[in-house]
Structures are given as C-alpha cells and as structure tokens.
C-alpha cells in the first residue's frame, strides 16, 4: 500500500493541511462559515508560535504573495534616495561655459604655437633662419639695454638727455621686476618644442608667461616714439622691430601666442606707469644730484 505524501518535516501532507485549516477561525474545521481574507491575514500575522509549515502554506495562499511581492515579514522601510554629490563634484561633472571656453582657447593656443614654431630647432622647416632669429633675440634682451642705457647716461652732459635716460633706466628696471613677478606667480612652462639655449637666463626664465622680450620691445618702442624726434622711416623701423621681435619668440619656440600677445599689452601699459611717475630734477632732485657727483 503506497505511503501518503509527506511534507518537508516528514508529516503527512493531509495532516498539515488539516492542522492549518483547523487552527484558523472561520474555516470549516473551526466552525466558522467564511470569515474574510482580511481576518485570515490579521490572524496569520499575529500568530508567532504557529507551525512553520502552516506559516509557509498561509504565505503561499496569500494574495500578496500571489501578486509576486515580497513576503510580509521581509517588508521594511523604503530605501532613502541617494544623497546629492558635493558641490565640487557637481562643478566637475557640469563645467561652466566659461571653463569650457578657456580650455578651448588654451588648446587653440598650444596648437597654433606649435604650428608657428618653424625655427624651434635646426631640423625645423625654417631651421636655417634660426641664427638670425637668435640675433634678433639678443637685440631685445634686458642686459644689453641696461648696459647701453648706463653707458649713455655716463656720457651724457645735458640735463635733458640725463632726464630721458634716467627714465629709460627706470622703465627697464620696472619691466624686469614686473615680468619676473608675473612669471613667478603664473609659472607657465615654456612650449615642449623649445630648446633652452637662450642668452643669459635667470631662474624665472624657465617660465613662459608673459614674454619678457615682448614687453621690453613694446615698452622701449613706445618710449622712443614719444621722447626721441625721429623721421617717419625710422619710426616705422622701430614699430617693425617690436612686432618682428614678438613674432620671433613664437617662431623660436620660446613662447606661446598668448604669452606674446599679453606681453605687448603689458609693455604698452608699463610706459603709462613710467609716464605717470616721470622722474625729473623737480620731483626727484636727489637722483640727478647723485649722478652729477659721480
């Protein structure tokens, strides 16, 4: 005779179903006529010491379980929404329009500077013109201009000439200090295709922004055009010298295009500072008296 089907605990399946049905009020075995499902679920959740097999059977017959939801015992509070990212992360993920524009301009600057660096090396497309460009570089260096101004100042025998040369010396010293300060603050490296074979470099000359040769060319050219009476062809030559000197800085690979452009602006504004604080025997007599004694 075949044995009756048994459940997981080894009990007959019919007995388990009978026990479950007899323990629920409202079932036929309990004497009730048909108490609703809500009463059945309330009693199911309230009985903690019931038979585990009955609990599993009740859960399988529950309408909540039939809909594919989680069991009632596993239901918990809803998970909290994720916290928003910090402000710095949000700025990184969503950069502003200004940051995108600056990065685009920087990329164009680097690309154009590399394209114009045709004399950066002997193997470049215009490598044969590199010695001429280096000679032009020396013409805009600060050391020749300082030494030449000091020599002319020592040989001058007129008050007007000394006044002009004294202010030119003041302009050159101001240019050296301001350019060195800006290079130390910005610390922009020179282009990667540059060769560090410059004439008489200092520690700050390893930085690129702004171009000191370009600021000096713009400052000296404006100074000469305003305080030396020159013919029209000579004035044109002075302007061409300043422009070609600035262009040669990019062709030699010494600077980027923005370094030279900002250098022209700084040099132009430096002359305005020199003109505002113009030194004369009236406002700085001690300088001229000291120079006369020497």
Known catalytic residues? 213, 255
How far apart are the C-alpha atoms of 224 and 215, rounded to whole Å? Answer: 14
Which pair of structure tokens corresponds to residue 153? 């100042």
How far apart are the C-alpha atoms of 192 and 194, rounded to whole Å? Answer: 6
DSSP secondary structure code for residue 6 in this structure: B
- C-alpha distances (whole Å) from 97 to each of 84, 93, 106 are 22, 13, 14
Residue 280, C-beta contacts closer than 8 angstroms, at least 6 positions apart: 163
Please state at what angle helix 257-276 crosses helix 159-186, rounded to 10 degrees. Answer: 140
How far apart are the C-alpha atoms of 155 and 164, rounded to whole Å? Answer: 13
| 292 three-class SS | helix
Please state at what angle helix 212-227 crosses helix 159-186, rounded to 10 degrees. Answer: 160
How far apart are the C-alpha atoms of 250 and 120, rounded to whole Å? Answer: 9
């Amino acid at each position: 005779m075949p044995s009756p089907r048994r459940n997981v605990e080894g009990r007959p399946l019919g007995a388990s179903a009978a026990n479950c049905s007899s323990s629920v009020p409202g079932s036929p075995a309990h004497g009730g006529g048909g108490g609703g499902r809500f009463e059945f679920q309330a009693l199911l959740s309230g009985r903690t010491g019931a038979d585990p097999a009955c609990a599993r059977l009740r859960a399988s017959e529950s309408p909540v379980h039939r809909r594919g939801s989680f069991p009632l015992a596993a239901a918990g509070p809803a998970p909290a929404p994720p916290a928003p990212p910090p402000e710095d992360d949000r700025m990184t993920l969503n950069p502003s329009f200004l940051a995108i524009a600056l990065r685009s301009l920087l990329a164009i600057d680097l690309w154009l500077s590399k394209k114009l660096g045709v004399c950066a090396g002997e193997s470049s497309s215009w490598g044969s013109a590199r010695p001429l460009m280096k000679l032009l570089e020396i013409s805009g260096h600060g050391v020749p201009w300082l030494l030449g101004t000091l020599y002319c100042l020592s040989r001058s025998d007129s008050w007007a000439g000394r006044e002009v040369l004294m202010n030119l010396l003041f302009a050159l010293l101001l240019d050296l200090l301001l350019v060195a300060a800006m290079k130390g603050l910005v610390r922009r490296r020179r282009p990667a295709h540059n060769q560090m074979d410059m004439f008489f470099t200092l520690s700050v000359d390893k930085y690129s922004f702004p171009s000191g040769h370009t600021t000096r060319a713009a400052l000296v050219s404006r100074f000469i055009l305003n305080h030396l009476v020159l013919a029209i062809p000579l004035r044109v030559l002075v302007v061409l010298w300043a422009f070609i000197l600035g262009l040669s800085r990019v062709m030699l690979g010494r600077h980027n295009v923005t370094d030279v452009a900002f250098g022209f602006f700084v040099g132009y504004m430096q002359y305005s500072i020199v003109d505002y604080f113009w030194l004369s025997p009236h406002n700085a007599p001690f300088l001229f008296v000291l120079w006369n004694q020497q």
